[in-house]
């Protein structure tokens, strides 16, 4: 979690429960306005996807058939 997110979380945690619900709804509306279909990715998600692509290109993966399930 980024430092700013930790600060926001800490501030919201200080509020009474009713006000926390209001803050939650406000943040939810901000996110929906930014990405109404939840299709955008965050910088950390982009980094994780890039790392996964690089690992795949280097052959660093496990095939589903190789997993012993059950």
Q: What is the token pair recorded at 57?
A: 């290109």
List of residues 6+ apart from 23 with CB closer than 8 A: 12, 15
Q: How far apart are CA 49 and CA 55, in angstroms?
A: 10
Which pLDDT tens digit goes with each residue over 47-64?
A: 999 999 999 999 998 888
Which pLDDT tens digit goes with each residue over 6-40?
A: 999 999 999 999 999 999 999 999 989 988 888 88
């Amino acid at each position: 979690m980024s430092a700013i997110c930790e600060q926001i979380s800490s501030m919201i945690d200080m509020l009474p429960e009713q006000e926390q619900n209001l803050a939650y709804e406000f943040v939810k509306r901000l996110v929906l306005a930014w990405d109404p279909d939840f299709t955008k990715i965050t910088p950390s998600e982009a980094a994780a996807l890039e790392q996964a692509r690089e690992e795949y290109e280097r052959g660093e993966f496990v095939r589903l058939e190789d997993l012993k399930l059950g």
